[in-house]
Amino acid sequence: MNEQEIHIHIHTESPTNRRGSRPKAAVKPRGISKEADMKALMTRNLWERFLFEPFTAGLNPWINLQSAKKAAESGHSVEIMGYEMDEARLTNSMIEKAKHTKGSIVTADDLIDFMIESGFSIAESTGIRRELMELYLESRIDLVGLAWDLSSDKISQRKAAIYQRELSLAS
């Protein structure tokens, strides 16, 4: 009968790499601090917890209101009041939810930047025209500005960020 030998090797020392030292833990890229990571995580958390729902819920009614206004301006018989009531209800919801995002290390700028990025992602994934999303984002920046008591200059700067993003992507 053929007998096979079985060799078992047991290492009692810690694993080493070829140079004889212990393997290094994954290193974070330089320039990214724990505070920045925490701030990004908190921004995403606040967005998802408070602002995502009113932002997305308000998108279609806002588009419908803009369409109804354009149709009325061009002479068509359109009932606008229902669209205006929906917009007012959703506007108040957005303002109230945005008020809940105050009081942490996350700033209005952080939330607005995140909202801009999310808005353009939603537009790309759903086929909404970029120009329409830009106008919607402007209206939502106004609401966050109201909730956070931002000055009109600060609100204007944040609205400009919508268009600066497009310029930075083009270059």
* Structure confidence at residue 108 (pLDDT): 95
Residue 81 belongs to some domain of the structure: no
* Structure confidence at residue 111 (pLDDT): 96
Q: Do 154 and 142 form a contact (C-beta atoms < 8 A)? A: no
Please name which of 55, 86, 81, 85 lies closest in space to residue 68, comparing C-alpha atoms: 81
Residue 47 belongs to some domain of the structure: yes
Residue 94 belongs to some domain of the structure: yes
Residue 38 belongs to some domain of the structure: yes
What gap in Å lies between CA 75 and CA 106, rounded to an integer?
46
- Structural domain containing residue 120: 34-76+88-150
What gap in Å lies between CA 100 and CA 51, rounded to an integer?
9
Please name which of 138, 140, 66 lies closest in space to residue 97, comparing C-alpha atoms: 140
Q: Do 155 and 145 form a contact (C-beta atoms < 8 A)? A: yes
Element (H, E) at 157: helix 152-170
Residue 132 belongs to some domain of the structure: yes
Look at the chain and report how many structural domains it folds into: 1
Residue 112 belongs to some domain of the structure: yes
* Structure confidence at residue 20 (pLDDT): 52
- Cα distances (Å, whole numbers) of residue 118 to 8, 72, 115: 56, 31, 5
What gap in Å lies between CA 152 and CA 81, rounded to an integer?
28
Q: Do 145 and 154 form a contact (C-beta atoms < 8 A)? A: yes
123 Cβ contact partners less than 8 Å away, ≥ 6 residues apart: 129, 130, 132, 133
Residue 10 belongs to some domain of the structure: no
Per-residue pLDDT of the chain (171 residues; tens, 9 = 90+): 556 565 454 545 555 544 555 545 444 555 557 888 889 999 999 999 999 999 999 999 999 999 999 998 888 888 888 899 999 999 999 999 999 999 888 999 999 999 999 999 999 999 999 999 999 999 999 999 999 999 999 999 999 999 986 666 555
* Structure confidence at residue 11 (pLDDT): 47
Residue 9 belongs to some domain of the structure: no
